[in-house]
Structure 1
Amino acid sequence: MQPGSEPIRSVRNPLVQALRRLHRPSGRKEQGLILLEGTHLLQEALAQGLRPRQLLATPDWLARHGALVERLPDPGRLRIASPEVLAAAATTGHPDGVLLTLESADLPAPAEATPDFVLVLDRLQDPGNLGTLLRTALAAGVEQVWLSEGADPLQPKVLRASSGAALALPIERLAATDLPGRLVAARERGVQLVAAVVPEAGGAAQPYWELDWCRPTALLLGNEGAGLAPTLARLADRRVTIPHSPAVESLNVAAAAALLLLERPRQAHGRPGA
């Protein structure tokens, strides 16, 4: 297979400039596209049945990934570029030789039906944390993710940190003023609202394993520094905590989320040997 068009040799090429604009939220919104970097994310996109809008690859990458190139649904969208040109279009310091774009509208959208398991993130700021959380959420069987502002889930760093999970999860980003109403509506449809708090927090918090996670559940996790907004915490039906040594004040939100989210499938399947 021969990629279409002449190789791109200038960083001033219009395609390269369009890809660079996808580094910013305004560019992603304007073009309706997201930027993915690296072989693994290309593999994940194809596994999800997503059709790349545009691909940019170096000659060396093409020589090493012929079988993957043959899987492309539209090979004519592939353009060859020098390593210098590809690096100019990428957000990473050492790209592995391929970039691609996807249409935002092709990503999974939240279904109208009431979900059984929702992850609610309040103003999470760190893209690495968000990406890790999305990967754990997918592993735990989360059906929807609701974000109250915070980091953009479609920025390249989040997509890399999620290892492609952001391409498979229905994610909805809400204004902070809209989230309380969404949670109240979910509770009226039988979803329990569960807030994670630090062990010494006041109120009737219980160890997380004592909660019945098999019920329809929305887990609420707060900002890395300030925690869960008081308006959201007051809506919670249950407060859970992860008991740990007082040597540390609190756990990293992504580390805490792994224990909390995976408790649901653990309860559903039982302990090994039980």
Structure 2
Amino acid sequence: MNACQAVAEHRPDDVRRVYVRESLLPAFGAFLRRCAASRIAYHVVDDAELAKITQSTHHEGVCFIVRERAPVALPALLAVPGPRCLVYLDGVQNPHNLGAIVRVCAHFGAAAVLIAGSDGGVSTSMLRTAEGGGEWVEVLGVEPGPAPLLAARAAGFRLIATAARSPQDLHARRLPQRTLILLGSESHGLSPALAQLADESVRIPGTGKLDSLNVACACSVLLSEYWRAHPAA
């Protein structure tokens, strides 16, 4: 529901069709009147029909068919000047983790999520989990390997990785104004080659009883620290 409301607010002209449960008509009333005026079809349906349309039981009573956002090229993303935080994911493909990360990025103002070896990672599951965050954050696939990271470094970004045994405490210094956070999958972590490419490795302080956090949780801690240091970004 939050994902659909975010689309209705930020790019209503991209909506092509709406399916909605009768009980949600008041929540979407203003937008549905706009749809009617623009001759965009909307249908009042029951949950069984929504499950068929969405191929999911997690539709929360509403489904939008929406035109995809125009993709942003990596060079254009890196060329934006000033303080900026991006997140790079190595081997993170689970749509629920991706959606949680996009949601965290939207909350803390990270501009984009770069997914190595992916066509962009945008799926209905990811967008649902992001709870509207997908309207605020660019999500794009990049080629695996060092090339995107070297391009980011050339654009003035510092590459920050995490390591459970790093001597550098995350909270002991300010993260750079232009930061690219590198995160790996929970099963394998960041690949050794990419970890070695990082400009710095930091440790998220804690009890030490566990080796690592869920990747979305780790992302939240890191972005919270970036926001603390650069709230205007």
Match of 1:92 among 47, 56, 63: 56
Residue segments in structure 1 that go unaligned for 5+ positions in a row: 1-38
Structure 1 residue aligned with 2:41: 78
Residues of 1 paired with 2:95 and 2:159: CA distance? 25
* 1:11-49 Cα distance to aligned partner (Å, 9 max, x none): xxxxxxxxxxxxxxxxxxxxxxxxxxxx32221002212
* 1:93-145 Cα distance to aligned partner (Å, 9 max, x none): 25333211222244666634146311111111322211111111122221222
Structure 2 residue aligned with 1:118: 86
Match of 1:223 among 185, 196, 206: 185
Structure 2 residue aligned with 1:159: 127
Alpha carbons of structure 1 residues 60 and 143: separation in structure 2 relative to 1, 3 Å: closer
Q: Give the structure with higher Rg (CA).
A: 1
Between 1:90-99 and 1:188-197, the stretch displaced more is 90-99
Residues of 1 paired with 2:113 and 2:180: CA distance? 9
| Superposition RMSD in Å | 2.6
Aligned pair 1:260/2:222, yes or no? yes
What does 1:130-169 correspond to in 2, within 5 Å? 130-149=98-117, 153-169=121-137
Contact 2:120-2:140 within 8 A present in 1 as well: no
Amino acid aligned to 2:151:
A
Structure 2 residue aligned with 1:196: 162
Residues of 2 paired with 1:94 and 1:212: CA distance? 40
* 1:61-100 Cα distance to aligned partner (Å, 9 max, x none): 4366423312448652223254232221123325333211
Q: So what's the TM-score if we normalise by structure 2?
A: 0.84
SS in 2 for 1:136: helix
What does 1:20-35 correspond to in 2, within 5 Å? none
Shift of 1:186: 1.6
SS in 1 for 2:103: helix
Match of 1:240 among 184, 199, 202: 202
Shift of 1:269: 5.0
Alpha carbons of structure 1 residues 95 and 136: separation in structure 2 relative to 1, 3 Å: closer
Contact 1:144-1:170 within 8 A present in 2 as well: yes
Structure 2 residue aligned with 1:53: 16
Q: So what's the TM-score if we normalise by structure 1?
A: 0.73
